[in-house]
Amino acid sequence: MELKGKIKLINDLSNESIQKKQLVITIDGQYPKDIAIDFIKEQKVALLDSASVGQIATVKINIQSREYQGKWYTNINGWAVALENDLLGDL
């Protein structure tokens, strides 16, 4: 699946045990929506090194849901990013 929007925020959520960044993009339309996308592990986190707030990005994603103790949790994980005229990852 693919999402395209303007980068609103890039958060570094890494700690001692895992490298993780979160990219928030705003998708235009009649009702604009902010979507948070996680990039996990060194290779995927590095895809965001040249990204900056305000750029237009096309992001390839996987959506995964799982059940835990009767509740459902959904993750959106990014695996490739195209920034305006700059191509990063395996699109």
> pLDDT of the chain along its 91 residues, tens only?
999 999 999 999 999 999 999 999 999 999 999 999 999 999 999 999 999 999 999 999 999 999 999 999 999 999 999 998 654 555 4
- pLDDT in the model for residue 85: 61
Q: Which long-range contacts (CB under 8 A, 24 or more apart) does 8-16 make?
A: 8/34, 8/53, 9/53, 10/48, 10/51, 10/52, 10/53, 13/38, 14/45
Reported as half-sphere exposure (CB side, CA atoms, 13 A), residue 27 has a value of 11
Q: Which long-range contacts (CB under 8 A, 24 or more apart) does 32-35 make?
A: 34/8, 35/3, 35/5, 35/76
Q: What is the pTM of this model?
A: 0.85
- pLDDT in the model for residue 34: 97
